[in-house]
Amino acid sequence: MITSTVPALLSGLPCYTKDMTPHHSRDRRTGPIPNVQCPGLHENSTRTSIELAHLLQQEPRHDEAIAVLTPLATVGSSQAQHELAKTLEAKEKLDEAIVWYQKSAEDGTFGAAHGAVRLMLRAERASEALAWLRSISDPDASHERVECAEWVLASMGRDEEAKRVRSYGWEPDGSISTPWSITPPSSKEG
């Protein structure tokens, strides 16, 4: 039951105080964060805050989960961004969810690109989804982004391009690669 678990989790949050006085917190990626009044911005408590958000989501107390996750997501925690997107999606706040899924995917969270594309297709924004996937792609594009692009192109009836992106990936400029083959080097004797 959440009523017995929440106080234990809250007591482990180093930047929470009873009177909510400002703290100088630290995020792993951004360094000191002055005057923050929220849980989970210390290196050791991000996990605790996300666990708290999960408990709140199960109740369901989505507004409270959003309040816990938003400060973490805002300072760049890709895990919090992903969890915030899922919580917003559960509340049917799809446009906001898409934004947080995208931020999380751009930071490399596996599964976040699928979430963003799924919601964009649901909102009939396939062209926007494809443009976004192109903007975050590079020669080393993740399998997830290529898979999402194939899914978007197929939903648009662009089956040949879907096959090409699956087989050949992306060019550095974000365009879909043209067919290519690998020719073994010839051996020269003598």
Could you state, in order of their start, the residue ranges of all structural domains in the chain?
Answer: 1-76, 102-178
User: H or E element: which one contains 103?
Assistant: helix 94-106
Closest CA to 71 of 55, 53, 59, 56: 53
Residue 137: per-residue pLDDT: 56
Peptide bond into 60 cis (omega under 30): yes
Residue 24 dihedral angles phi and psi, to the nearest 5°: -95, 110
8 A C-beta contact, residue 161 and residue 153: yes
Q: Is 150 helix (H, G, I), strand (E, B) or coil?
A: helix
* β-strands 31-36, 23-27 pairing: antiparallel
Residue 149, C-beta contacts closer than 8 angstroms, at least 6 positions apart: 130, 133, 134, 137, 162, 165, 170, 176
The secondary structure of the chain in percent helix, strand, coil, rounded to multiples of 5, reads: 55, 5, 35
Residue 53: per-residue pLDDT: 79
Cα torsion through 60, 63, 65, 69, rounded to 10:
160
Residue 49: per-residue pLDDT: 78
Question: Which tens digits make up the pLDDT trace of 100-156?
Answer: 999 999 888 888 999 999 999 999 999 999 999 988 854 445 688 889 999 999 999
Q: Mean pLDDT, consecutive 10-residue segments, the chain of 190 residues? A: 43 38 38 41 63 80 89 89 94 96 88 94 95 72 83 96 91 84 75
Residue 13: per-residue pLDDT: 41
Q: What is the pTM for the complete model shown?
A: 0.69
Residue 45: per-residue pLDDT: 66
Residue 189: per-residue pLDDT: 63
